[in-house]
Amino acid sequence: MGNAAIADYGLLADGRSAALVDRKGSIDWWCPERFDAPSVFCRLLDSRGGHWWIRPTDDFEVRREYLSDSLVLRTVFTTAYGEASVTDGLVLEPGSRGHEIGRRSPGVLVRVVEGGSGTVAMTMSYYPRLEYGRRTAYLVPQDGTVVATAGPSSLTMTAPVPLTCSDGEAAARFTVGPGERKTFVLAHRPTYHDGPPAGLDDRDPLGDTVEGWRSWANLHTYPGRYPELVRHNVLVLQGLTYQASGAVVAAATTSLPERIGGDRNYDYRYAWLRDFSLTLRALWVAACPDEANRLFGWVASAVGQVDGEPVPVMFGVEGERDLTERRIETLGGYADSSPVRVGNEAWRQRQLDVLGEVMDAAWQLRDYLDPMSPEIRDLLRALADQAATSWRDPDAGMWESRDADRHYLSSKVLCWTALDRAIRFGDRLGDAADLARWAAARDEARETILRDGWNAGVGAYTGAFGSDKLDASVLLMPIVGFLPATDERMRATIALIEEQLSHDGLLRRWDTDPAAFTLCSFWLVHCLVLTGERDRAAALFERIAATANDLGLFAEQIDPDTGEHLGNFPQAFSHIGLVVAAWELTDAPEAALTEGEP
């Protein structure tokens, strides 16, 4: 069987990892130890990579949805003979609620098959392939369970039906009638760790998990437009958070391609400072500010003492810095798009925009960082100092160019942002000499950007000094308050970017980008609001929001011609963009922005 479309997948999460299940009931991705750990199912990246499907034997139609305010997914299969459902969830720690959910999740995947009408014949295939498909597990039936062991990991499946084990696969055929329920439980543990899988309520094995998710969602009240969309998208961001540390991964997957057959296939299961800061802004919008001190504390711990070295741009979910990239030669890649990569060499890059993004998030959440811990103060001071000395330097930019460093305009603008916000903090961060030094650097950076960033021949601010190429990241200029969107040159830039990089509202990062970048499309919405075109911005927002899959999930990019989702999935950037754009469209007075204070 070929790959499911990226948009066919649903997300399951438990605060330490994620699983993806397609519309046909196949779990094709799960890294149970943590987001960036080796997989036990990775059919997503190769048909031989391992799977666990439960589906009707006969032809079927599908409808599916999340149980309200949760990441527990119910898929309903309708055949000519009746209807049956499969409810899937990664189990949260029993009894955990609110901000504590997911911090000690047990690594258990539950699938509940229920009969609706008629009698439905079902088939199950369980084929774990551990360590990115390198290991075929040895299956051992034991007292109603099947234990799969391969090296350091063991999986214990409890099944309510007889299983046939052969060549690393456990298979079954069974039927369900009205009111019948069959619960399958798969528990992961280290091979050399004693202890049984976590106990579950036999009557409602996912009920406590659903209540855990709802308890988190109910802590937050969003007062703006599109409340249901915002509520769901923030829940997805929570699902992409490694709860033990607070780190937010960029996506749940590795190596899903930006272009089918292309080689820009990277591992996004890590925490970028850029994503962290934008996530904080989205959580602020959705009235979830209580996470601020905890998440900033994680960043301060992960970054550590800067000591004049470039600020690291990304980390493992527990703060690891060395994310050396390697290729998994045993996997052919999604739709034969190789290579499959684990690790990401971007950890070695200088990306100056992160200075402004983290500082801007701190300014947005300033009331919740008061009193400010010494660690956070030291971090913010270091960011300002580095922006003051490094804004003139070339870097890899926010799109993480791997060919050569350049003087990217968005990097310069976000260094200006770091300095501007540091000055606004005043004596909470520095003394009079610090503030004067930061102000001098800020003013020099602004003058240079206005002079060297404008390309008169193009009639726009371009992506890098001396370049004639448009870049959607330039839309950040009015968003961070560097220039009013109504400034003559800024308005011309927004119009030209929309004209040349947009297709029916979906915006590419540059003219050769293989598909539209979802976050940039939401940036265009934001800019239209700032130019006063609120009705057109709302129409564009709704058009972009409608490109999500049936579960409200976005990949990194969308092909504007076909609507196909591309890149890693689900992508935190895309969901952040929706949340922030919804807030900018809110008519409430408190949603209005002043230049320089987003």
Q: What is the mean pLDDT of residues 177-188?
A: 96
Q: What mean pLDDT value characterizes the chain?
A: 93
pLDDT bin (cut points 50, 70, 90) of residue 232 is very high
Phi and psi at residue 112, to the nearest 5°: -110, 115
Q: What is the pLDDT of residues 56-75, one digit of tens each?
A: 999 999 999 999 999 999 99
- Residue 596 pLDDT exceeds 80: no
Number of C-beta neighbours around residue 469 at 10 A: 12
pLDDT bin (cut points 50, 70, 90) of residue 3 is confident
Of the candidates 104, 107, 113, the one whose C-alpha atom is nearest the C-alpha of residue 74 is 113
pLDDT bin (cut points 50, 70, 90) of residue 520 is very high
Phi and psi at residue 158, to the nearest 5°: -105, 120
Beta bridge partner(s), residue 169:
166
C-alpha to C-alpha distances, 97 to 248, 336, 447, nearest whole angstrom = 19, 42, 50
pLDDT bin (cut points 50, 70, 90) of residue 394 is very high
Q: What is the mean pLDDT of residues 134-148?
A: 88
pLDDT at 590: 39
- Residue 588 pLDDT exceeds 60: no
- Residue 518 pLDDT exceeds 60: yes
Q: What is the pLDDT of residues 328-363, one digit of tens each?
A: 999 999 999 999 999 999 999 999 999 999 999 999
Which tokens hold the place of 203? 């009557």
All domains of the chain, ordered by start, with CATH? Answer: 6-195+204-216 (2.70.98.10), 220-591 (1.50.10.10)
pLDDT at 493: 98
pLDDT bin (cut points 50, 70, 90) of residue 197 is low
Q: What is the pLDDT of residues 473-486, one digit of tens each?
A: 999 999 999 999 99
pLDDT bin (cut points 50, 70, 90) of residue 198 is low
Inter-axis angle of helices 374-390 and 292-303, to 10 degrees? Answer: 60
CA 222 – CA 553 distance, rounded (Å):
20
Percent of the chain predicted with pLDDT > 90: 82
Which tokens hold the place of 231? 């509520």
- Contacts (Cβ under 8 Å, ≥6 apart) of 288: 219, 220, 234
Of the candidates 98, 54, 59, 109, the one whose C-alpha atom is nearest the C-alpha of residue 82 is 59
- Residue 248 pLDDT exceeds 50: yes
Phi and psi at residue 264, to the nearest 5°: -85, 75
